[in-house]
Amino acid sequence: LTEKLQNVFKNLRSKGRLTEEDVKLALREVKMALLEADVNFKVVKGFVKDVQERAVGQDVMNGLNPGQMVIKIVNEELIRLMGSETTEIQLQPGQATTVIMMAGLQGAGKTTTTAKIAGKLKLKGKKPLLVACDVYRPAAIKQLQVNGEKQGVEVFSMGENHKPVNIAKAAMEHAAKNGNNVVILDTAGRLHIDEEMMEELQEIKEHVEVHQTILVVDAMTGQDAVNVANDFNQKIGIDGVIVTKLDGDTRGGAALSIRAVTGKPILYVGMGEKLSDLEQFYPDRMASRILGMGDVLSLIEKVGEDIDEDKAREMGKKIKKAQFDFEDYLESMNQMKKMGGLSSILSMMPGMNMAQMKGFDSEEGEKKMAQMEAIIYSMTVKERRNPEILNPSRKHRIAKGAGVDISEVNRMIKQFEQSKKMMKQLPNLMGGKGGKKGRF
Ligand code: GDP
Ligand code: MG
């Protein structure tokens, strides 16, 4: 009886509520992580305060310790703050022309991003016109022309001897005649916020109907991003933000700061110098990047949250003994799905940062997984349990059942053997929650 009672107490404790002390302790770590990620100090302070209020008194989920529970809340709050869904540039309805003005400091990536966006719009069947309004930097016009040509879109320029506002007006006439349904104004930045630049942008807005003003910010500006975003938003008004140079090793604090201060959505992120390197902004990915959760620990935490622990432990044992068969493979695929898909898991692996994931097409990866699944489902249970009995005639039947070529079946089996080998080398990865304690 005493033992039973003790267990009840243990359960009560582990299912308790977050105390102020729990939350404070964990938030100290979070604060450090945010500052390290170059989130603006004031933003950090406000954020931590909000989370503190929200977290104290909340139930600790089963299987999590208080520290992990706080991190879970922090992660959710970060995602919420950065916008819980992905957004896009708002285009005018129907055939109406959309005018987009790019703004930002010099070197932020306006010209490059202008060309990147043009490529995306072209794919959507739009006919963009890029307008060279940067008349200060000698090479700026040429740069836009070169990039426009690469993307196969037209560039409008009038050289360096006109005012930007007049170039913009002339470009509108050109677009009307030429049937361009999107006009993107590539404006001139300055090294620092200055009045002249703001006036120039305001003047354009007064004379041309700009539908979307997009602020381009270099992720590496970190703390400064707040002032930049605030000034641009107050003086000219912005509709959305693009954060560039996230392919570097910055932790992306700028994205959080900007969003917190302006409340405007982050539309895209620049992931490289190539014109194809513009990606949708995913708040959840950015949140883990900012928190620096790229470690196995967090992967294990996530496993602990979402999957049946006993199954995981059993699987871990099987992997150690290399008794992993296709049934287990199916099971692990299902668990992977629960954990948010392949890309979400990969992004949490050590050494797999955003930059390295660039070449990884998660859609492609997930399609492949679906195909694998179809193949395994076409096997009999006996075949799944004993892959070695798969002779050519069985493979032929399986291929037919899954609607794939027999070479796909062969490749899948080979891959399976390979991953079995690989998994033998990471025996602890799927072994449940070992090593989870002691984080806080
Ligand atoms: P602008 O002065 O705002 O027009 O900036 P540019 O478009 O000329 O870009 C400045 C520099 O940043 C150029 O060398 C670009 O190639 C580079 N750049 C722009 N976006 C990115 C990005 O997302 N990643 C990286 N690595 N470089 C970028
Ligand atoms: Mg430029």
Atom of ligand 1 nearest to the CA of 216: 3
Are residues 220 and 227 in contact, defined by beta-carbon separation less than 8 angstroms?
no
Listed by start position, the domains of the chain span 2-81, 98-290, 295-425
What number does the ligand 1 atom closest to the CA of 106 have? 2
Give the ligand whose atoms come closest to the C-alpha of residue 188: 2
Q: Could you tell me if 316 and 431 are in contact, meaning their C-beta atoms sit under 8 angstroms apart?
A: yes
- C-alpha dihedral sign at 418, 406, 336, 287: positive
Residue 21 CA to residue 124 CA, distance in Å, equals: 52
Contact between 381 and 329 (Cβ < 8 Å): no
CA distance 14 to 255: 35
Give the C-alpha distances (Å, rounded to integers) separating 254 from 43, 187, 220, 250, 354. Answer: 10, 22, 8, 9, 16
**Tokens describing residue 163:** 């005012």
Instruction: Count CB neighbours of 433 within 10 A.
Output: 17
241 strand-pairing partners: 215, 266
The protein residue with its alpha carbon nearest to ligand 1, atom 6, reads 109
Residues 6 or more apart from 107 whose CB is under 8 A from it?
189, 191, 218
Give the ligand whose atoms come closest to the C-alpha of residue 147: 1
Cα 204 to middle of ligand 2, angstroms: 16
For 281, other C-beta atoms within 10 Å of its C-beta total 23
Among the atoms of ligand 1, which is closest to the Cα of residue 105? 3
Q: Identify the DSSP state of 215.
A: E
Index of the ligand 1 atom closest to the CA of residue 248: 26
Pocket of ligand 1 (CB under 6 A): 104, 106-112, 189, 216, 244-245, 247, 270-273, 277
The pTM of this model reads 0.68
Looking at residue 267, its pLDDT comes to 95
Instruction: Tell me how far apart the alpha carbons of residues 371 and 366 are, in angstroms, rounded to a whole number.
Output: 9
pLDDT at 11: 42
**SS3 annotation, 339-354:** CCHHHHHHCCCCCCCH
* ipTM entry: 0.99
Pairing between strand 266-270 and 278-280?
A: antiparallel
Using the mean position of ligand 2's atoms as its centre, give its distance from the Cα of residue 232 in Å.
Answer: 17
Q: How far is CA 262 from CA 215, 223, 254, 372, in A?
A: 11, 14, 12, 45
Q: How far is the CA of 124 from the centre of ligand 2 (A)?
A: 24
Point out the ligand 1 atom lying closest to the alpha carbon of residue 102.
Answer: 3
**Which residues contribute to the annotated binding site?**
104-111, 186-190, 244-247
Rounded to 5°, the CA angle 253-265-357 comes to 55
Query: Closest Cα partner for 164 from 132, 118, 128?
Result: 132
Bridge partners of 131, per DSSP, are: 156, 185
Q: What stretches in the chain show pLDDT beneath 50?
A: 1-2, 4-14, 294-301, 303-304, 307, 350-358, 427-440
Cα-trace Rg, the chain: 27
Distance 172 CA to ligand 1 centre (A): 26
**Parallel, antiparallel or unpaired: strands 182-186 and 98-103:** parallel
Please classify residue 139 by burial: count the beta carbons closer than 10 Å to its beta carbon, then call 0-12 exposed, 13-18 middle and 19+ buried.
exposed
Binding-site residue numbers for GTP are 104-111, 186-190, 244-247
CA of 38 to the centre of ligand 1 (A): 20
| Tokens, residue 7 | 């267990």
User: How many angstroms separate the CA atoms of 378 and 400, rounded?
Assistant: 9
Pick the CATH number of 2-81 from 1.10.357.10, 1.20.120.1200, 1.20.120.140, 3.10.290.20: 1.20.120.140
* Residue 160: predicted pLDDT: 92
CATH no., domain 295-425: 1.10.260.30
Q: Give 108's contacts (C-beta < 8 A, 6+ positions apart).
A: 189, 216, 217, 218, 221, 244
Helix, strand, coil content of the chain in percent (nearest 5): 55, 10, 35
Q: In terms of Cα–Cα distance, which of 57, 44, 65, 66 is closest to 291?
A: 44
Spell out which residues have Cβ within 5 A of ligand 2, the ion: 110-111, 134, 140
328 touches 318 (CB < 8 A): yes
Written as six digits, the tokens of 223 are: 């703390």
Return the CATH number of the domain spanning residue range 98-290. 3.40.50.300
pLDDT for 44 = 94
Instruction: Check: CB of residue 373 under 8 Å from CB of residue 366.
Output: no
